[in-house]
Structure 1
Amino acid sequence: MNKVILCSLIGSAVALPLLFASAPVSAAEVKVTWENAEKYTDVRPANESRKRFRERTLAALEEHIVELASKLPDSQKLTMTVTNVDLAGQVWPSQFVGFGVGAANDVRVIQRVDIPRMTFSYTLSDKQGAVISSAEEVQLKDMNFMESNIRQNRGDTLSYEKIMLEDWFNDTFTTNVAANEE
């Protein structure tokens, strides 16, 4: 058992500097506001409290947005106000989907008709606060989410929503990302 712990500690000591070495040197500042999150269409858990699931889910989405924004120049600021989230799929009582009456847990069932959606406004500005790009109401949805997810790991938490955000980000900020890579 000591060998396992030692290897784990050594692995962590080796991996930690590599993690920082691969982290972006410069990245845009990001501010995400989750407006009235308790009223979002579907940020519903299968097997935990709604509040804890919502907090965990929104934190994971925000972390992904920050990761995407790391491609933007550090002289820029991305501000987003999210007004609605509708996760892919629907949560159903387990007995409704064939797990029997004794099964106590709910399950999230992913079907083609239950597409992921997100509504938000955003502003991308420079150091002086001049607006580079903005939109008042982006209604993001991925009607082809089940096919587009083939390129990613289906086991990744919120993979459908993350791919949808990544596609939007790449389509919207292509010139800004290119400017950072020069």
Structure 2
Amino acid sequence: MRISKATKTWVAAFALVASSGAWAGVQVHFDKPDHYSDVPFSTRDREQVLAGLANHFLWLGKSLRPGQELKIEITDIDLAGNEDPARRGAFDVRVMNGRADWPRMRLRYTLEQNGKVIASGNASLSDMSYLQRINRYSRNDSLRYEKKMIDDWFKNTFGVLPQGRSSPVISLQPREVRGRH
């Protein structure tokens, strides 16, 4: 998989916005996205997934304390469900059966307070019960399961409960077809 210049531009733009005070200094970097476990087949959808995830981390960063800077390096992504190549048409279709298709993400992070590292580590995020849990994100948000998983990690790691919701990623619709359990 190749990541286009448009994706790199989006990520760079988000990083630039992140460096402003309004975003509490969040930086998101995608390490070798060509090798991720599961991102959409189409270049357009893949770019929107990466931009949507970066935007969500930036949005969560607004809840950090003043003077804190969070650096996140995403090393792998496995989206909820599985893409079904047989059902591809104008849109990629993800089949969700609730078995071994839960969302997963691996990342490294560093949280600094006024230039001093106060927390860092590697994290493996996953949500095995993603179809059974209450999700505050709209069904129209193609990344609702991933965002819920990230929210939980953010709350458990940094003690910050997200307020409101980040912008939905709706261009991947239709996103899911639920399989039989």
TM-score in same-fold range (> 0.5): yes
Given that residues 124 and 134 in structure 1 are in contact (C-alpha distance below 8 angstroms), is that contact kept between their aligned partners in structure 2? yes
Aligned-pair CA distance for 1:148: 2.0
Tell me, in whole angstroms, the C-alpha distance in 1 between the residues paired with 2:71 and 2:32.
17
Q: 1:151 to 1:131 in 2, by over 3 A?
A: same
Q: 1:90 to 1:134 in 2, by over 3 A?
A: same
Given that residues 31 and 79 in structure 1 are in contact (C-alpha distance below 8 angstroms), is that contact kept between their aligned partners in structure 2? yes
TM-score normalised by L of structure 2: 0.70
Higher helix share: 1
Which of 138, 141, 159 is residue 153 of structure 1 equivalent to?
138
Any unmatched runs of 5+ in structure 2? 1-20, 162-181
Three-state SS of the structure 2 residue aligned to 1:33 is: strand
Please list, as runs of the form range in 1=range in 2, the aligned pairs for 1:24-173 lying within 5 A after superposition.
26-45=22-41, 49=42, 51-94=43-86, 104=89, 106-113=92-99, 114-127=101-114, 129-135=115-121, 137-173=122-158
Q: 1:27 to 1:110 in 2, by over 3 A?
A: same
Any unmatched runs of 5+ in structure 1? 1-24, 96-102
Match in the other structure for 2:178: none
Q: Percent identity?
A: 40
TM-score normalised by L of structure 1: 0.70
Amino acid at match of 1:109: V
Tell me, in whole angstroms, the C-alpha distance in 2 between the residues paired with 1:107 and 1:63.
23
Q: What do residues 18-77 of structure 1 show as CA deviations (whole Å, max 9, x unaligned)?
A: xxxxxxx854201111000011000024xxx2x322221110001010111100123010
Tell me, in whole angstroms, the C-alpha distance in 1 between the residues paired with 2:135 and 2:68.
32
Q: CA RMSD in A?
A: 2.0
